[in-house]
Amino acid sequence: MQFIRKLTFLAVLPLLGVAGAFPSAFAADEITAGSITNSPPMISYASDGTTLQGAIVDLAAAMSKQMGRTISFKAIPFGGLLPAMQAGHIDITFTMMNDTPEREKVVDFVDFFNLGTMLLVKKGNPDHVESLETMCGKTVSTVQGSTQVLLVNEMSAKCTATGKPAISNLQYAQPSDARLQVQTGRVAAFLGNSPVMVYLAKTAGNGTVFDVVSGHEYQPVPLGIAVGKANHALRDALQKALNALIADGSYRKILEKHGVESGAVTAATINGGVHLTL
């Protein structure tokens, strides 16, 4: 496993002393968060290639102030995030990770955002993608280990069950690589998290590169900060900090700054994905 960059965006603040569930290779006064780092407007690198920006980054900075502990980020491919936690290389994940019942068997989640899945297509929709249900026989791209992989597999099974050709699913470690397949015409659509898809359709090439398939959003799920199941102290400290930001209005202001306030939660729930059927 290669850990590409580690960025600390807040000066070290007084320690509150939260014990770790897994062995940690980092200082006790710092909470190291694994994250994918190419999903604007939630989290991505600025033009300098080293500064992280986005709604998740701003939330982490505000939560750091509430907790009196620095949350720093380490860039890790999505499929390596939970293994990195279990190996003690990171303390939490703070990224575009859906809180699902399957993942809750391994970690606890502090849910901080609600989102769904949308289809990103090439500008003008040359493959005439109307919905996931119309994708039988077409090729899509997804991120390895994401819930979108299961969504495609389920829909592909429905295709074959009715005598139609399966959906071909190309899986990539990085969202940027999966999106590139749409841009080059290798796949008809990329399945990704809705705020990122909408953002890319608006901003990539000043709106000339992608479209989103409107009127169809799948998998309404919470995003969660993942914490080791035995680490109740850290989990509860993160929940308390996030709820304080929700209560004083700064949480919503951060989301509004990045244009993603439609996904705001009213409270930081623990393991809110427990009833999902993904």
The yes-or-no verdict on residue 227 having pLDDT over 80 is yes
The CATH code belonging to domain 116-219 is 3.40.190.10
pLDDT, one tens digit per residue, over 133-181 is: 999 999 999 999 999 999 999 999 999 999 999 999 999 999 999 999 9
Q: What is the pLDDT of residues 49-85, one digit of tens each?
A: 999 999 999 999 999 999 999 999 999 999 999 999 9
Helix, coil or strand: residue 153: helix
**Stated pTM of the model:** 0.77
Per-domain boundaries in the chain: 6-115+221-263, 116-219
pLDDT at residue 277, as a whole number = 55
User: Is 6-115+221-263 a CATH 3.40.50.300 domain?
Assistant: no
User: Looking at residue 219, what is its pLDDT?
Assistant: 86
Q: Which residues are CB-neighbours of 262 under 8 A, at least 6 positions away? A: 195
* pLDDT above 50 (res 273): yes
Question: From the DSSP assignment, how many helices (H) and strands (E) are in the chain?
Answer: 8, 13
Report which DSSP code applies to 58.
Answer: H
Q: Decide if pLDDT at 23 tops 70.
A: no
Q: What mean pLDDT is reported for the chain? A: 89
Is residue 10 scored above 90 in pLDDT? Answer: no
